[in-house]
Amino acid sequence: MVDLHSHTGASDGSDAPFTLVDNALSAGVTALSITDHDTFAGYYAAKPYALSKGLDLLCGIELSTKYLGQTIHLLGYFPRAEPAAAFGEWLLILQTKRRDRNQRLVENLQKLGVKITLAEVEALGKTMAGRPHFAMILLQKRYVKTMQEAFDKYLAENGRAFTEREEVPLEEGIQRVREAGGIPAIAHPARLGRRTAAEEAEWIEAAVEMGMLGLEVRHSDHDATAVKRYTALAARFGLLTTGGSDYHGTYKPDIKLGTGKFGNVSVPTEWLERLRANVS
Ligand code: AMP
Ligand code: FE
Ligand code: FE
Ligand code: ZN
C-alpha cells in the first residue's frame, strides 16, 4: 500500500517520526511520504529507522502558500534526491516568520486576559508551533470548550486575537520546489472551495501556468465523484497524479494510514513510480 501524505509531530501530527513508521508498517503501508507542514525535521528523523525497517520513505513537504488571498497547501515531493541545502535555508526563514507571528498572537491573547506564553506553545509545537497548538492550550486551560471554539473566538481570521502570518506566494513555492529538484503538486483540491467545475478547472490551469506538476487526486476529503473529476483534470492538464490519507494520528482519528476515511483512499503503486520517473 502507498500513502503519499502524512504528518508527524514535527508539524501537526500526533505521532513521533518513529511511531509513524511503525504505524505505517502495521497498517500495511510499504511506501510512505512524510509531508509535514513547512519542515523536513520529521522526515529526516524517521529516515534511518524507516530504512532499517524496510519502509520505502519518500521525502516530501506541505508548504502553506498564498494565492488570491487564500491559503493554498502545496505538496512538494523529492523522489530522486533530497532537496538542496538552499531550500532548507529558505524554510528556516519561513519558520522565523511563523515564530514572529506566534509572538504577536501570544501578546494579543494576553491583552484579552488569556494567560499564555510562547514557551508553552513551543513546548507543544516545537519549531512548527501553530494555531492548532494555541487552540489546545486554550482548551486545556478551559478558556474554551472545544478546539473549534478557540478558532472561532480567538484564532480564526475573524477571531479576536488573529494576526496575519506572512505567507509565501504560491508561484514562489512552486518555483522553490522545482529549483530544489522537487515535484510541486496541489494538495487536497477539494478544499479550494471553487463553486463550479469550470472555476476549479480555471484555477488549476492558472497553477499549471505557474509551473505546477501534480495534483492530489486521492485524499481523505475526496469522495468518488471528486476523484473522478480530479483524475480527468490531471489528464487534461498533463499533471502527475498523487494521493494520500493526510494522516495526523490521534488528532484526526477518522483518518487511517494508507486507506483514509472509511477506506476512501487507495493510491496505485504506478502513481509513485511515475512520480519517481517524473512522467505524467
Ligand atoms: P497556522 O499555520 O499556525 O496559521 O495554523 C493553520 C492551521 O490551523 C490549519 O492547518 C488548520 O488546521 C487550523 N485552522 C485554521 N483556521 C481554522 C478555523 N477557522 N477553524 C479550525 N481550524 C483552523
Ligand atoms: Fe495539517
Ligand atoms: Fe493540507
Ligand atoms: Zn496535510
Instruction: Report the separation in Å between the CA atom of 280 and the middle of ligand 1, taken as the mean of its atom positions.
Output: 32
CA of 62 to the centre of ligand 4 (A): 6
Q: Is the CB of 130 under 6 A from ligand 1?
A: yes
**Interval between CA 110 and ligand 4 midpoint (Å):** 30
CA of 158 to the centre of ligand 4 (A): 23
**HEC states along the chain?**
CEECCECCCCCCCCCCHHHHHHHHHHCCCCEEEECCECCCHHHHHHHHHHHHHCCEEEEEEEEEEEECCEEEEEEEEECCCCCCHHHHHHHHHHHHHHHHHHHHHHHHHHHCCCCCCHHHHHHHHHHHCCHHHHHHHHHHCCCCCCHHHHHHHHHCCCCCCCCCCCCEEHHHHHHHHHHCCCEEEECCHHHHCCCCHHHHHHHHHHHHHCCCCEEEEEECCCCHHHHHHHHHHHHHHCCEEEEECCECHHHCCCEECCCEECCCCCECHHHHHHHHHCCC
Is residue 276 pLDDT above 90, yes or no? Answer: yes
**CA of residue 238 to ligand 2 center, whole Å:** 27
Q: Whose CA is nearest to atom 17 of ligand 1?
A: 156
Q: What percent of the chain has pLDDT over 90?
A: 90
Q: pTM for this one?
A: 0.89
pLDDT of residue 280: 58
User: Which whole number is the average pLDDT over 236-264?
Assistant: 97
**How does pLDDT run across 33-84, given as a tens digit for each residue?**
999 999 999 999 999 999 999 999 999 999 999 999 899 999 999 998 999 8
Is the CB–ligand 1 distance for residue 248 below 6 Å?
Answer: no
Q: pLDDT of 120-176, one tens digit each?
A: 999 988 777 899 999 999 999 999 999 999 999 999 999 999 999 888 999 999 999
**3-9 average pLDDT score:** 97
- pLDDT at position 219 is 98
User: In a mutational test of the pocket of ligand 1, which residue from 151, 157, 158, 164 has the highest number of ligand atoms less than 8 Å from its CB?
Assistant: 151
Q: Whose CA is nearest to atom 6 of ligand 1?
A: 131
Ligand lying nearest the CA atom of residue 97: 1
- CB of 131 shorter than 6 A to ligand 1: yes
**Predicted confidence (pLDDT) per residue in 81-126, tens digit:** 999 899 999 999 999 999 999 999 999 999 999 999 999 999 988 7
Q: Which CATH class is domain 2-81+183-277?
A: alpha beta
Per-residue pLDDT at 279 exceeds 70: no
pLDDT at 167: 86
Ligand 1 atom 11, closest CA: 132
**Predicted local confidence at residue 196, as pLDDT:** 87
Residue 64 CA, closest ligand 1 atom number = 2
Q: Whose CA is nearest to atom 20 of ligand 1?
A: 151
* CA–centroid distance, residue 184 to ligand 1 (Å): 22
Ligand number with the minimum distance to the CA of 163? 1
pLDDT for residue 270 is more than 80: yes
The confidence score (pLDDT) of residue 144 equals: 97
